[in-house]
Chain A
Amino acid sequence: MELKGRKISAGVAEGEALVTNQAISFYGGVDADKGIVVEKGHELEGKSIAGKILIFPTGKGSTVGSYTLYRMKKNGMAPAAMINRECEPIVAVGAIISNIPLVDKLEIDPLKAIKTGQRVKVDGSQAKVVF
Chain B
Amino acid sequence: MELTKEEQEMLAGKHGNAAKKSMEILVALGEIYGAKNMIPVSSVQVAGVSYHNLGDAGLEYLEDLSKDGQVKVLTTLNPAGMDLEDWHNLGISEDFAEKQLKVVNAFAKMGIIPSCTCTPYFVGNLPRFGEHIAWSESSAVCFANSVLGARTNREGGPSALAAALTGRTPNYGMHLDENRHPQVLVKVKAKLKTIPDFGELGHAIGKKIGNRIPLITGVRAATTEQLKSFCASMATYGGTALFHMKGITPEKAKKPAGDEMVEITAADLDEARKAMTDEGEPDFVSLGCPHASLSELKRIAELLKGKKVAVETWVAVARPIKELADKAGYSKIIEAAGAKLACDTCMVVAPLKGRFKCMATDSAKACFYGRGSNGFKVKIGPVEQCIKAAVTGKWS
Contact of B25 among A10, A67, A88, A96 (CB under 8 A): A96
B61 at the interface (CB under 8 A from A): yes
B384 at the interface (CB under 8 A from A): no
- Are A92 and B28 touching (Cβ within 8 A)? yes
- Which A residues are closer than 8 A to B by beta carbons? 6, 8-10, 32, 62-64, 66-68, 70-72, 74, 87-90, 92-93, 96-97
- Are A70 and B32 touching (Cβ within 8 A)? no
- Are B48 and A96 touching (Cβ within 8 A)? no
- Which B residues are closer than 8 A to A by beta carbons? 21, 24-25, 28-29, 31-32, 48, 53-58, 60-61, 136, 156-159
Q: List 16 A-B contacts (CB under 8 A).
A: A63-B48, A63-B157, A64-B54, A66-B156, A66-B158, A67-B158, A68-B55, A71-B56, A71-B58, A71-B60, A74-B60, A89-B32, A89-B159, A92-B32, A96-B21, A97-B25
Cα-based distance from A74 to B60 in the complex (angstroms)? 9
- Are B25 and A63 touching (Cβ within 8 A)? no
A contact face: mostly helix, strand, loop, or mixed: helix
Which chain A residues lie closer than 8 Å to B25 at the CB level? 92-93, 96-97
- Are A67 and B28 touching (Cβ within 8 A)? no
The residue among A62, A64, A66 with the most chain B CB atoms within 10 A of its own CB is: A64
- Are B29 and A70 touching (Cβ within 8 A)? no
The residue among A10, A74, A88, A97 with the most chain B CB atoms within 10 A of its own CB is: A97
Which chain A residue has the least Cβ–Cβ distance from B55? A71
Given A71-B60, A93-B25, 14 more pairs with CB closer than 8 A: A8-B28, A63-B48, A63-B156, A64-B48, A66-B158, A67-B54, A67-B58, A70-B57, A88-B32, A93-B29, A96-B21, A96-B24, A97-B61, A97-B158
Which chain B residues lie closer than 8 Å to A93 at the CB level? 25, 28-29, 156, 158-159
Which chain B residues lie closer than 8 Å to A67 at the CB level? 48, 54-55, 57-58, 61, 157-158
Which chain B residues lie closer than 8 Å to A74 at the CB level? 57, 60
Which chain A residues lie closer than 8 Å to B57 at the CB level? 32, 67-68, 70-72, 74
Which chain A residues lie closer than 8 Å to B158 at the CB level? 63, 66-67, 93, 97
CB distance from A96 to the nearest CB of B (A): 5
- Are B21 and A64 touching (Cβ within 8 A)? no
CB distance from B349 to the nearest CB of A (A): 11
- Are A70 and B61 touching (Cβ within 8 A)? yes
- Are A90 and B156 touching (Cβ within 8 A)? yes
Which chain A residue has the least Cβ–Cβ distance from B53? A64
CB distance from A80 to the nearest CB of B (A): 18
With A64-B54, A89-B29 as known contacts, state yes or no: A70 contacts B159, CB within 8 Å.
no
- Are A9 and B156 touching (Cβ within 8 A)? no
Which chain A residues lie closer than 8 Å to B60 at the CB level? 70-71, 74
The residue among B57, B136, B157 with the most chain A CB atoms within 10 A of its own CB is: B57
Which chain B residues lie closer than 8 Å to A88 at the CB level? 32
Contact of B21 among A68, A90, A97 (CB under 8 A): A97
Cα-based distance from A29 to B24 in the complex (angstroms)? 26
Which chain A residue has the least Cβ–Cβ distance from B24? A96
- Are B156 and A96 touching (Cβ within 8 A)? no
Contact of B29 among A32, A62, A71, A92 (CB under 8 A): A92
CB distance from A125 to the nearest CB of B (A): 12
Which chain A residue has the least Cβ–Cβ distance from B52? A64
CB distance from A71 to the nearest CB of B (A): 3
